[in-house]
Amino acid sequence: MAKDHGAQIKDDKLYEDLRDEGMSKEKAARIANAKAAGTLDHDSSHLEDRTKAELYDEAKEIGIEGRSDMSKDELVKAIRGHK
């Protein structure tokens, strides 16, 4: 059974699973609470549907090094791997 993390965490089990995967407390809380509220944005997980230019812009925004030489598939992997 998941530990009670207080009223600020709406899905304690998901929160703990995300923390076990290495996510920060803040990010795990945001995802757990969004999922519990039904507001989790699923479009962000469809990176393959974006253009290479859109992926490049996102990689630039989050500071991924070497993005200029990356293929679309490499950009998707780099963005997903960024924490």
Domain-by-domain residue ranges, the chain? 12-40, 45-81
With H, G, I as helix, E, B as strand and everything else as coil, classify residue 63: coil
Q: What is the pLDDT of residues 59-82, one digit of tens each?
A: 998 899 999 999 999 999 998 888
Of 11-15, 35-39, 48-52, 77-81, give the lowest mean pLDDT range.
Answer: 35-39
Give how far Cα 53 sits from Cα of 42, 49, 76, Å.
20, 12, 12
The pLDDT of residue 28: 85
Looking at this protein, which amino acid is placed at residue 63? G
